[in-house]
Amino acid sequence: MQKFTIRTEEHNQMLDITTIVQKSVDESEVKDGICYIFIPHTTAGITINEGADKDVSIDILETLDKLIPHNGDYRHLEGNSDAHIKASLVGNSLALIVREGKLLLGTWQRIFFCEFDGPRTRNIIVKVMEDK
C-alpha cells in the first residue's frame, strides 16, 4: 500500500493522477491484478473520465456547481455542504484492472482526483493486489 499527498490549488478542481497511480503499479511489480484507489476525505472524490480534452473536467465541475451550488440552503454549518454532496455523488474509491503491469484504461480515460473544498492538502491511498 502506498500513500500519496497532493496539494490542490482551487476550491473545485480535477487533477489527473493517472501517472501517480501507474507509478504505484510499476513499483508493486504486479503484472495482473487489481489496483484499488481510496480517497480518505469527505469533501473530495475520485473518478475516471476523458483526459484528452481539459474542457471535459471544466464541464463536469461547472455542471456539479449548477446542480449543487456552494451557497445552497444547507443545514451543515461549516459552509461546505456542497462539497460533501459532490463527494458522495462522485465517490471515494475506484478498483481498476491491472493487465501486463499497466492500468487497464480506455484510450481517452484518465484518473482524476476531484477537489470540492480546496485548496487543501489531500491524501490518496493506492493498493495493488496480484491475481492468485
Phi/psi of residue 122, each to 5°? -130, 160
Q: Which residues contact 1 (CB under 8 A, 6 or more apart)?
A: 125, 126, 127
Q: E strand or H helix at 18, and its extent?
A: helix 18-28
Cell matching residue 117: 473544498
Q: Map grid coordinates 446542480 to a residue.
A: 67
Domains in the chain (CATH in brackets) are 2-130 (2.60.120.460)
Q: E strand or H helix at 81, and its extent?
A: helix 81-90
pLDDT for residue 66: 97
pLDDT for residue 77: 87
**How does pLDDT run across 24-82, given as a tens digit for each residue?**
999 999 999 999 999 999 999 999 999 999 999 999 999 999 999 999 899 998 999 99
pLDDT band at residue 132 under the 50/70/90 scheme: confident
